[in-house]
C-alpha cells in the first residue's frame, strides 16, 4: 500500500498570498497518477488536479500541480477567500487508492 504524507497539516495564509502544499508518497506513483481534491465543510470533495498537473474541468488557473515519483506539490498562486478549505492528495495508480491525511488551509 502506498502511504501519502501531506505537509503541512495546517497552513495559515492571507488572501492574495501564494500557497504551496506538499504530498509525499512512500513509493513511486506510477505515471504520476496523483490527484488533488478540495473539500469545504459539509460538502463532498471536488477534483482539482489529476495526472499530477492537469487541471480538472472549470478549475481556475491559479491552481497548479507539479511533481513526479514520490514528491508532488499543489500550488495556489493567489489565494481567494473561497480557497480556504481542506486539500487532499490521492494516488490513483495502485489499489488501494489511498488518500493523504489532508492539509487545512486557513485564513491568517
User: 62-67 — which CB contacts under 8 Å span 24+ positions?
Assistant: 65/34, 65/36, 67/23, 67/32, 67/34
What span, in angstroms and rounded, lies between the C-alpha atoms of 107 and 56? 25
Q: How far is the CB of 67 from another protein (least distance, A)?
A: 15
Q: How far is the CB of 14 from another protein (least distance, A)?
A: 25
Residue count at the site for another protein (CB under 8 A)?
28
| 33-92 residues near another protein, rule: CB under 8 A | 33, 35, 37, 39, 44-47, 50-51, 54, 56-57, 86, 88, 90, 92
List interacting residues with another protein (CB under 8 A).
1, 31, 33, 35, 37, 39, 44-47, 50-51, 54, 56-57, 86, 88, 90, 92-93, 95-102
Amino acid at each position: 500500500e502506498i502511504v501519502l504524507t501531506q505537509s503541512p497539516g495546517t497552513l495559515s495564509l492571507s488572501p492574495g498570498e501564494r500557497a504551496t502544499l506538499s504530498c509525499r508518497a512512500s513509493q513511486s506513483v506510477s505515471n504520476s497518477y496523483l490527484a488533488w481534491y478540495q473539500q469545504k465543510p459539509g460538502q463532498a470533495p471536488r477534483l482539482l488536479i489529476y495526472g499530477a498537473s492537469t487541471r480538472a474541468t472549470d478549475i481556475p488557473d491559479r491552481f497548479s500541480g507539479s511533481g513526479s515519483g514520490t514528491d508532488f506539490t499543489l500550488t495556489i498562486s493567489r489565494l481567494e477567500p473561497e480557497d480556504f478549505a481542506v486539500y487532499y492528495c490521492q494516488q490513483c495508480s495502485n489499489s488501494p487508492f489511498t488518500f493523504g491525511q489532508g492539509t487545512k488551509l486557513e485564513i491568517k
